[in-house]
Amino acid sequence: MASTVTAAPAPTAASTAPRKPHLSFLSIVNMNVGFFGIQYSFGLQQSNMSPIYRYLGADEASLPLLYLAGPVTGLIVQPIIGAMSDRTLSPRGRRTPYFLIGAFLCSLSLLAMPFSRTLWMAAGILWILDAANNITMEPYRAYVSDRLDDAQTSLGFLTQSAFTGLGQTLSYITPSLLVFLGMNRDAVNDRGIPDITMLAFLMGAVFSTASILWSLRRVPELPLTVEERQRIERMPRGVGHTLKEILDALREMPTTMRQMVAMKFFQWYAMFCYWIYIAPALALTLFDTKDPASAGFREAGLVTGQVGAFYNFVAFVSAFAMVPVTRRLGAKWMHVIALSAASLAMLALPAIESRALLFVPMLGIGLAWGSMMGNPYVMLSDSIPKERVGVYMGVFNMFIVIPMLIQNLTLPLFYDTLLGGNPANVIRLAGALLGCAAVACAFVSVRKARVTAA
């Protein structure tokens, strides 16, 4: 049975220095279980929203515009919630209230999504779902940084990356598992949405809240020291001061974070290209169809889930395997290697016409995905002030959502012209951009991260 880590007793006035007990590996795993639910939800979006939009009548060129919810809500919600959580004084802690509110809203949105009656109803629910995920996401990253001492921070973020891989592996593979267990892959509701998709979203609603509650029960937040509480009490309140905190953080951004902007632009523009267009690309390259009502298109959705589950499993395994390599090479060079592997994989992927061979490039994509969710945070961790972790994690993740927003707005402008209206060409574009990200990462100046065993 999993061990329970209890919060340290509240410090006295005479003892105001921050205390971060050295956690066991099992405790670090338990504190990151909540990330499983968050990423299961994201995986459902990545693997199912394009097919759902197509079932409800969207055309391929407009798909990026229907994904605006993620980057727009992330751009607004992440830095604001990050800054607010740095200032929060509640009986349950600084970060916990945001975990609980976000998880509850996420579960409600996942329950509603597969029952969408129209295209714009699905798009509207996605806005709420993405806002809920973002409410939870940034305080969660800050919680990991709050809870771990410097010697364990790298391991904590790489473990979080592993749960990203695990959560998304299961979300991607769930429809195929349901078919394996006897459900009819061609059974659909009156809007054309498969029954297996509907059940997968219902399962996600349960995982979203249950996993967060697990982590908070096993590894609660550390109570604030007297010094920390007094510092927060002295901080000005109100929306205006929160926005000023974000602007100050942008103006005083550490050099390492500034240098990572170009890398993050290329890698996240590329990944959004992949997530939006991989299902239509496989429908075309494997089944020679663009018709969302065809059996081939539904089969391509299952294949997308299968290869997506595989690359996320690779990410899960590689997140732990990267620990000793990152200790030797540093997070930066590990990330350069991972991005290069993914670049070659995506460039090769559209030429593959065998379902079995599709799993080969997923090795490179999985390695990069595991690295993206861990190593950039390792690169960043030593360069940001500890008392502003929340706001800087929010600002840092603005550089995830801004490239996605740019992708949403720009790709429809040249999808039919430069890319010939061919979803496979979008995947090739993603491969080229990941190569650019690897080059940009090589020019980042960062101290070698410390990665230690628990």
**What CA–CA distance (Å, rounded) separates 173 from 167?**
10
Cβ atoms of residues 46 and 165 within 8 Å: no
Whether 7 shows a pLDDT value over 60: the answer reads no
Would you say residue 301 has pLDDT above 50?
Answer: yes
Read off the pLDDT of residues 197-241 as tens digits, 9 standing for 90 and up.
999 999 999 998 999 999 888 888 888 778 878 887 877 776 677
DSSP state string for 289-333 = ---TTSHHHHHHHHHHHHHHHHHHHHHHHHHHHHHHHHHHH-HHH
Region 394-415: what's the mean pLDDT? 85
**pLDDT tens-digit series, residues 245-275:** 778 877 878 888 888 889 999 999 999 899 8
| pLDDT tens readout for residues 97-154 | 888 898 899 999 999 998 888 888 998 998 899 888 888 877 887 787 788 877 787 7
Residue 263: predicted pLDDT: 94
Tokens 């061919």 found at: 422
pLDDT (tens digit per residue) in 74-95: 777 777 787 777 778 887 778 8
Residue 347 — φ and ψ, nearest 5°?
-65, -35
**What is the average per-residue pLDDT within 330-357?**
92
DSSP state string for 154-215:
HHHHHHHHHHHHHHHHHHHHHHHHHHHTT--TT-B-TTS-BHHHHHHHHHHHHHHHHHHHHH
Element (H, E) at 147: helix 119-147
Rounded to an integer, the average pLDDT of 375-399 is 74
Q: How confident is the model at residue 358 (pLDDT cuts 50, 70, 90)?
A: very high
